[in-house]
Structure 1
Amino acid sequence: TITGTPPEVAAILMDAMGADVVGINCSLGPEQLIPLVERLASVTNLPISAQPNAGMPMLVGRETVFPLSPEEMDSYVPALLDAGASYVGACCGSTPLHIKAIAEAAGNHTPKERPEIAPFTAFTSRTGFVKVGHTEKPIIIGERINPTGRKVLAKEIKEGSFAMVKRDALAQVAAGADVLDVNMGVPDVDPATIMKRAIMELSMLVDVPLSIDTMDPAAMEAGLKMYPGRPLINSVNAEPEQLAQVLPLAKRYGATLLCLPLGRGDLPATAEQRVELAKEIVLAAYEKGLRSEDLLLDPLVLTLASGQDSAVQTLRTLAMYKETFGFPTVMGLSNVSFGLPQRPYLNSQFLTMALSHGLTAPILNPLNGTVKKAFVAARTLLGFDPAAAEFIADYGLDEEATVTNAASKKVTAVSFNSDDPLENIQHAVEQGEKELVIELVEKALADGVDPLKITKNALSEAMNVVGEKFGAGKVFLPQVMLAAEAMQGAFQTIKRVLPDSGGITRDTVIVATVKGDIHDLGKNIVAALLENNGYRVVDLGKDVDPEEIVAAVKRENATVVGICSLMTTTMPMIDVTIEAIREAGLPAKVLVGGAVLTQEYADKAGADSYAKDGITAVNIVKKLLGDD
C-alpha cells in the first residue's frame, strides 16, 4: 500500500479482525497480481479474492486504454487460481465480456490444492510482522518506554515532550528489540490522550510492532484505534471486570492478548495456581470469540526478595504453560532482581533459565550488554542460531573491540552529539525528531551558524537522504512525513529566532485536484511536504474548475501549479487545465501527478514536469524554481 503495508501484514491483521475474505483489487493487471495472491495465501486460510485491471493502462492519443481483451484476460485465470485465489473478477478497463470470459476460464480449471497454513501467533506493525511461539526463535520486547522509576522520562511526558520516548525507541530497535512495550503511566495526565499520541508517534517512527502496556481500558482503546497493525495488549487478568472490558477490545481490533495469572485474592504463589487462573482467562477469551493464536501467557515474575522459591515457581509455570496450552509466553524479566545487587547479572542468569523452560518473548532492556549477550547466547544454545552465525556476528571480536563496536552501532543509530552542529540537525530531521531539532537549531544559531547553511547543508540534505531511502523502499510515507514535520519545525525556529534571515521563505505553490475528481490523498501529501520544505501552499481542494485555478494563480502570484487526477475518466481535465493556464499567459510552471498519470501523458499534455510521488514532487519544485 502507499504507506508500506505488504500483503502478508494486511492479511494477518484482517484475519484477526474477523474478515471472511481478503483480497486485492484494481491497481495492477492480472500478471502482476499473481505473486501478491501467493503472498496472501502464505499466511492465511481465508478465501482470497483477486480483481485485477484489464492490464496496465496505456495512453492512446488523449484516451486511456486498458490493453487486455477478454480472451487475454482469461488466460491468467488458471495462474491466479493456482496461486490461491478463491474468487476472481476484474476492475478498471473490464466489461461484461471480460467477466464472462473469466467465469468460463475459472469453471474450466481445477486449481492446485492450496496448502493449509498452521495457526501461528504474530504481531504486526504497519510495514512488517513478527512471529512468536515455541517453534520460532525467541524475540525481545523492549522495556525502556516506561516512566516507572524514570523521573526525567516521566517529567518529559507530562510536559508533552516525546523526545526521550523516541530516542529510547530508536535505541532499542538498533540494539535488537523485535517489539517495543509502550507504557505511559504518568500521574496527572489523561491516559487515553497520552497513549494515543505515543502510539501515533512511534508507529510512524519505527518499523517494529508495539505492545500497548496499560490497565486503563480507555487508554487501551485509544492506542488500539490509533495503531496501524496487530499489537500486543499488555495485559488482562482474571478479574471479571477486567475480562469484560479488555476481551472485547482485543477481539474488535484484532490484537494479541497477554494473559496475566492474577485474580481478586492473594498472589498465586505456585505454578499450579497460576495455570488454573490462566485457564479461566483462556476460557473467557474463547467465549468472546478469540482464538488460540490470539493469546499469550505471562508466568508472573516476583522478586526473589518475596520468597526463596519465587523464581523456581516462575520457571515451573513456564514449563507447565508449554505442556498445558502451547501458547507463546511473555514475561517482564527485571522484576526478579528488584531490591537486589548485581541486577544485570541476576537478570541474565534467570533469562537463560527461563528461555530453556519455554519463555518465547522476554520483556527486557536490549541496551544492557550483559542481558543482551545472555539472550543471544541462550538463543544459540537452544538451536535457534544455525552455525552460531548471530552470536559470532555480534560477539566475534575480542571483549574490548566488542564493547567499542556495540557503542559505535548505538551512536550511529541514535546519537546527535557530533561536533558538527549541521550533522546533528541533519540526523534529527532524518529521524523525525521534531522536538530535538528545534533545540539543535536554536543552539546552532546562538553559536553563530549561518541560517542559510543550516537550510542547505542540514535541512535540505536530510530530506535528500530521506527521499533516496523512500525511492529505494527503505522508508515509507509516515517516516517521510515525520521528517518533513521536523524540517518545518527547524524552518519555523529560524524564522522565530532570526526573523530577518534571508532565503528562508520560498515561493507560492497552488495545488488542486482537477474538475470531476474527488480524490485528494496524494495532493494533500504533496501540499504537506511542500509546506514543510518552506513553500507557501494554497490548496484549492478537489473537483476544481480550470477557471478557478487560473484565478488563484493570478491572485496569489504563484510560480508553480500542481494539479492531479486519480481517475482515468478525469485525465482529460489535466489537458484542459494546462491549456487554460497557457491561454491566460501565466508564467507559472505546471507540475502534474496522480495514480493514472505517466510521464508520457504529462509530456503530451504540455506539463512542465511529472511527479510519481510526493518526494519527487518536492524535488521537482525545487529544481523548477532554482531552489535545489
Structure 2
Amino acid sequence: MGFFTRRDEGLPLADQFEQQVLVMDGSMRDALAAQGLPPSESPELVNVDRPEIIADIHRAYVDAGAGIIRTNTFAASAPALARFGAESRMREINAAAVKAARIAGARHIYGAIGPTGLSIAPYGPIPFDEAYRVFRDQIEALADAGIEGIIVENMVDLQEARVAILAALETAAKPVACTFAFGDGGRMPVSETDPLGAAVTIAGMGVSHLGPGQGVDPVHVAQLLELMGRASAVPLICLVDAGREDVLLSQLDACVEAGAGIVGTSGGAVALTRTIAERVTGKVPPRRRRSRATLLCSRKRLVPIHPDAGTVMIGERINAANSPRLAEFLRGGDLTVAVEEAKQQVAAGAHVLDINVSIDEVDEAKMLAETIGAVQAEVEVPLSINTASPRSLDRALRVYCGKALVNFVSAKDGSLARMLPVVKKYGAAVIGLTLDEQGIPATVFDKVDLAKLMLDACEDAGIAPNDLVMDCIVIGAAENQEQVREALDAVRQVSKKMELNTTLRIASVSHGMPNRFVLNRAFLAMGLAAGLDSAIVDPLEPGMAETFAASDVLLGRDKGAAAFKQRFG
C-alpha cells in the first residue's frame, strides 16, 4: 500500500508536515532480533556485514506505508560502537545504513541518533564540547551519505538531548525531530526531567517535532502528547512502545487531535505499521495555539510566569557588580560564594536565580559558563542569565541545561540585533528592558511604545510573544516620584492590553532612600496589584518572601491559599 499520493510525493518535506500526518517505520532492532540476531551483538554492524538484510527490512516498512525510514544507526556513535570494538568504522557503518535505506526505496530517510551513555557536565565528567564532537561526527557521516532529516531518539538525559540537537542543527541543515524515553516514574531515567520540562527545553531550539518514545504506556500517550504540547506550537511526534497494539491503535485519533504530525512505534512488526498507515491516511495535523505562559525550567523544575500562576521571585544576589565579596572570589576563580548565595536564595523561596559576573579582570564568557555549571550542579531552580555580551550569552546558554531566562536586552546600542539571535538559537526566554538611546522613558506611553518595539523585534527574530517578559524599568522615588506611578501604569498596560508577562527590579525604587526594606515591600505589593507576574528581588531581605506569599493570596494567584498554608501553617 502507498501512503503518499502522486501529488504528495513531489512536495518538499516541510510542506508535507503541514498537509498530512506522516508515518515512521517500526523498530529495526526488533526486526533483526526476529531474524535471529543475538542481543549481545550490534545491530549496526549488520549494515556492513549483511546490508541486504537491512534493505529488506526497510523495504517491508516502505511497502507497509511508512513515509519516513530511520537509518539503522541508533547506536552508531563512536562510544556506542566502541563496545564492539568498531569505533574506527563509525563513518563506514553510518554511510552503509543510509545506502541500505535508499536501496529499499525509502521516500524520506531520517538519520537515527541514540544516547551515547556519556555523562555530560555539569552533572557528569564529560565536557560539553567533547560530547558535542561525538554527535557532530556521527551526524556529519549521515549527512554526507544523503539523509533528509534527523531523529534524536529515546533520549534518557536532558543535557545529552540538548547536545545532540545542537550538533544536528549546526551540522546539517535538515529537519530535526526528538523523542524522549520516560521511566516508571514518568520522568527521563537519567536527568529525572518530566515530559513538560523536556518539551519546554527542546521546543524553542528549532526542532521540527518532539514527543514521547520508549517507556510510555499506550493508554496514556494521547494525554502525554497534550501535556507536551503545552510547551509550544511545535508539531508533535508519537513513537511509543507497541506492546499493547490494540490500545495503541485505539489512541491514534486522539494522538493526531493532540497534535501528532508523525506517528509510528518504538517497536512492533511491519503489520502494525501498515495498520497505522491505513488509520491516519488523509488526516491533517491540527494547528495549536500558543499559551501566554512564559515557561522556564532546569532539568528537574518547571517555573511558569503567567497571571494565573504564583508570582515568580527572581533572586538577584549573584551579582558581582553589587557584591564586593562575590567579585573577590570570582577574580580568584573561586565559585564558593556564588554557590552559597544560590542555596540561600532558594531556601528563602526564590523560584529563579539571576546571575551576573560582569566585572573587571574576569573573562565574563568563561566565568559565566563556569558559574552556571557550578550553580546548576547544586540547585534545581531555573536561571536568569544577566549579560550584555552576545559572546558571553552564547557560551552560557550552550551549557545551560533547561530553558533559561535572559536578562539585560534593550532597545539601546543595537542590543536587540546582537542578543536576540542568540536567545532564539538556544530557545531561551528574554527580559526586555524599556530602555533606548534616550534612556529610560519618562511616561507610560513611551514605555509601552518601547514594549511594542521589542515585541516586534522578538517576533522578527522568531521568538514567540510568550517568551518575552517586559521590564518597564522603575527609577528611584528619591529621584522622581511621578515616574514610580508611570512604571506601575506601564505594567498595567503591558499586562492587560499587550498580554505580555512582566517583571521589575524592586530595589531600584528605594535607591537613595533610608529604610529601603519598607519601600521595597510596599512597592512590590503595589506592583503585584498592577499586574506584575515576576519580580527581581533580594530573597533574603526581611519580609520580602512573606510579601510575595501574602500578595498572592489576596490577589487570587495562590488558589485556595495552598502555598501560603503550606509555608506558614
TM-score tier, shorter chain, comes to 0.5 to 0.7
Match of 2:391 among 186, 200, 218: 218
SS at match of 1:89: strand
Cα separation, partners in 2 of 1:258 and 1:105, compared to 1, 3 Å:
same
Superposed CA deviations along residues 609-628 of structure 1, whole A, max 9, x for unmatched, are: xxxxxxxxxxxxxxxxxxxx
Residue 346 and residue 124 in structure 1: after superposition, are their counterparts in 2 closer, same or farther (change >3 A)?
same
Equivalences for 1:21-60 in 2 at 5 Å?
A: 21-26=209-214, 30=218, 33=221, 36-55=224-243
Aligned to 1:242: 415
Contact 2:307–2:531 (CA under 8 A) maintained in structure 1: yes
- Over residues 572-621 of structure 1, what are the superposed CA-to-partner deviations in whole Å (9 max), with x where a residue is unaligned? xxxxxxxxxxxxxxxxxxxxxxxxxxxxxxxxxxxxxxxxxxxxxxxxxx
Matched residue, 2:266: 91
Residue 5 of structure 1 is matched in structure 2 by 193
Contact 1:78 1:111 in 2 (8 A): no
Matches for 1:123-134 after TM superposition, within 5 Å: 123-134=296-307
Assess, with a 3 A threshold, how the Cα gap between structure 1 residues 301 and 337 changes in structure 2: closer, same or farther.
Answer: same
Identity over aligned residues, as a percent?
A: 31
SS, match of residue 504 in structure 2 = strand
Residue 377 (structure 1) aligns with: 550
- Report the equivalent of 2:369: 196
Instruction: Report deviation, 1:324.
Output: 3.4
The equivalent residue for 1:268 is 441
Q: Name the SS of the counterpart of 1:306 in structure 2.
A: coil
Instruction: String of CA shifts for 1:418-451, please: whole Å, max 9, x gaps.
Output: xxxxxxxxxxxxxxxxxxxxxxxxxxxxxxxxxx
Quote the residue 1:281 is aligned against. Answer: 454
1:78 aligns with 2:250: yes
| Separation of aligned partners in 1, 2:517 and 2:435 | 27
Q: Which amino acid aligns with 2:315?
A: G
Q: Pairwise mapping of residues 134-145 of structure 1 onto structure 2 (< 5 A)?
A: 134-145=307-318
Distance of aligned partners of 1:76 and 1:145 in 2 relative to their CA distance in 1, 3 Å threshold:
same
- Structure 2 equivalent of residue 546 of structure 1: none
Question: Which letter does structure 1 place at the counterpart of 2:248?
Answer: Y
Provide the rounded CA distance (Å) in 2 between the counterparts of 1:393 and 1:36.
Answer: 29
Partner Cα distance (2:541, 2:250) in 1 = 54
Contact 2:342 2:375 in 1 (8 A): yes
CA distance in 1, matches of 2:203, 2:411: 26
Q: 1:118 to 1:240 in 2, by over 3 A?
A: same
Contact 2:261 2:285 in 1 (8 A): no
Task: Provide the rounded CA distance (Å) in 2 between the counterparts of 1:336 and 1:220.
Answer: 28
Higher relative contact order (CA 8 A, sep 6+): 2
* Conserved 8 A contact 1:27-1:53: yes
Residue 140 (structure 1) shift: 0.5
How far did residue 385 of structure 1 move? 2.5
CA contact (8 A) 2:413 2:437 kept: no
CA distance in 2, matches of 1:311, 1:43: 35
Instruction: For 2:270, give the aligned amino acid.
Output: P
Aligned to 1:16: 204
> CA–CA distance in 2 between the matches of 1:358 and 1:352?
10
CA deviations 1:510-559 (Å, max 9, x no partner) are xxxxxxxxxxxxxxxxxxxxxxxxxxxxxxxxxxxxxxxxxxxxxxxxxx
Give the Cα–Cα distance (whole angstroms) in 2 for the partners of residues 260 and 41 of structure 1. 29
Alignment deviations for residues 112-148 of structure 1 (CA, whole Å, 9 cap, x no partner): 9998664432112112221112232211111111123
Give the distance between the partners of 2:560 and 2:407, measured in 1 at CA.
34
> What is the Cα deviation at residue 332 of structure 1?
0.8
Q: Relative to 1, partners in 2 of residues 1:98 and 1:159: Cα closer, same or farther, differing over 3 Å?
A: same
CA contact (8 A) 2:218 2:247 kept: no
| Matching of residues 567-578 of structure 1 within 5 Å | none
Aligned with residue 103 of structure 1, among 258, 277, 291:
277
Distance of 2:300 and 2:525 partners within structure 1: 31
Write the letter of the residue equivalent to 2:482. Answer: D
The answer to whether the Cα contact below 8 Å between 1:9 and 1:129 also exists between their aligned partners in 2 is yes
Conserved 8 A contact 2:473-2:487: yes
Looking at structure 1, the residues matched to 413 and 359 of structure 2 have their Cα atoms a distance apart, in angstroms, of 26
Alignment-mate amino acid for residue 315 of structure 1: L
Instruction: Kindly provide the amino acid, as one letter, of the partner of residue 268 in structure 1.
Output: P
Partner Cα distance (1:119, 1:387) in 2: 23
In structure 1, the partner of 2:140 is none
Partners of 1:77 and 1:88 within 8 A in 2:
no
Is the partner of 1:37 in helix, strand or coil?
Answer: helix
Whole-Å separation in 1 of the counterparts to 2:383 and 2:541: 20
2:359, 2:490 → 1: CA distance?
A: 31
1:370 shift after superposition: 1.6
Partner of 2:12: none
Q: How far off its partner does 1:392 sit?
A: 4.0
Q: 2:500 aligns with which of 295, 318, 327?
A: 327
Q: Per-residue deviation at 1:42?
A: 4.5
Per the alignment, residue 296 of structure 1 pairs with 469
Cα distance per residue 1:436-477 (max 9 Å; x no partner) = xxxxxxxxxxxxxxxxxxxxxxxxxxxxxxxxxxxxxxxxxx
Partner in structure 1 of residue 406 of structure 2? 233
Provide Cα deviations, 1:161-195, integer angstroms capped at 9, x if missing partner: 11111111111112111111111122111000001
Alpha carbons 1:259, 1:296 under 8 Å: kept: yes
Q: Which residue number corresponds to residue 173 of structure 2?
A: none
In structure 2, C-alpha distance between the alignment counterparts of 1:24 and 1:125, rounded to whole Å: 19
Could you say if the C-alpha distance between residues 386 and 281 of structure 1 is closer, same or farther in structure 2, counting changes exceeding 3 Å? closer
| Cα distance in 2, alignment partners of residues 386 and 273 from structure 1 | 35
State whether residues 239 and 265 of structure 2, in contact with CA within 8 Å, keep that contact through their aligned partners in structure 1.
yes
8 Å CA contact retained: 1:78, 1:105: no
TM-score where L is the length of structure 2: 0.62
Between 188-197 and 143-152, report the one with greater CA deviation: 143-152
Aligned mates of 1:180, 1:23 — CA distance in 2: 29
**Distance in structure 2 (CA, Å) of the matches to 1:175 and 1:321:** 29
Q: CA contact under 8 A between 2:292 and 2:499: conserved in structure 1?
A: no
- CA shift at 1:24, angstroms? 2.5
Tell me the SS of whatever aligns to 2:408.
Answer: strand
Change (3 A) 1:76 1:140: same
Q: Which runs of 5+ in 2 are unaligned?
A: 1-187
Q: CA RMSD in A?
A: 2.6
Output the CA distance in 1 between the equivalents of 2:266 and 2:331.
50
Q: 1:319 to 1:52 in 2, by over 3 A?
A: closer
The answer for the alignment partner of 2:27 in structure 1 is none
Q: Provide the C-alpha distance between the structure 1 equivalents of 2:347 and 2:453, rounded to a whole number of angstroms.
A: 38
Q: Distance in 2 between matches of 1:262 and 1:395?
A: 39
Q: Tell me the SS of whatever aligns to 1:180.
A: strand
Distance in 2 between residues matched to 1:327 and 1:301, nearest whole Å: 18
Question: Deviations 1:68-117 (Å, cap 9, x if unpaired)?
Answer: xxxx635522224424344321234x343332233234459x99999866
- The residue number in structure 2 matching 1:68 is none
> 1:298 Cα deviation (Å)?
0.5
Cα deviation, residue 280, structure 1? 1.8
Distance 1:99 1:170, change over 3 A: same
Q: Which residue does the alignment assign to 2:360? A: 187
Structure 1 residues 119 and 270: alpha-carbon distance in aligned structure 2, compared to 1, 3 A threshold: closer
Task: Give the C-alpha shift of residue 27 in structure 1.
Answer: 5.1
Q: Which amino acid aligns with 2:371?
A: A
Equivalent-residue separation in structure 1 for 2:520 and 2:296 (angstroms): 25
Q: What is the aligned length?
A: 378
Deviations 1:226-261 (A, max 9, x none): 111111110211125211111111111111111111
Q: CA deviation at 1:16?
A: 2.1
TM-score (norm 1): 0.56
2:561 corresponds to 1:388: yes
Letter in 1 for 2:331: K
Q: Do structure 1's residue 173 and structure 2's residue 346 form an aligned pair?
A: yes
Residue identity opposite 2:263 in structure 1: V
Where does residue 258 of structure 1 map in the other structure? 431
Q: Contact 1:81 / 1:111 at 8 angstroms: preserved in 2? A: no
Q: Give the CA deviation at 1:302.
A: 1.0
Asked if the contact 2:309–2:558 (Cα under 8 Å) also holds between the matched residues in 1, the reply is: no
CA–CA distance in 2 between the matches of 1:274 and 1:119?
Answer: 21
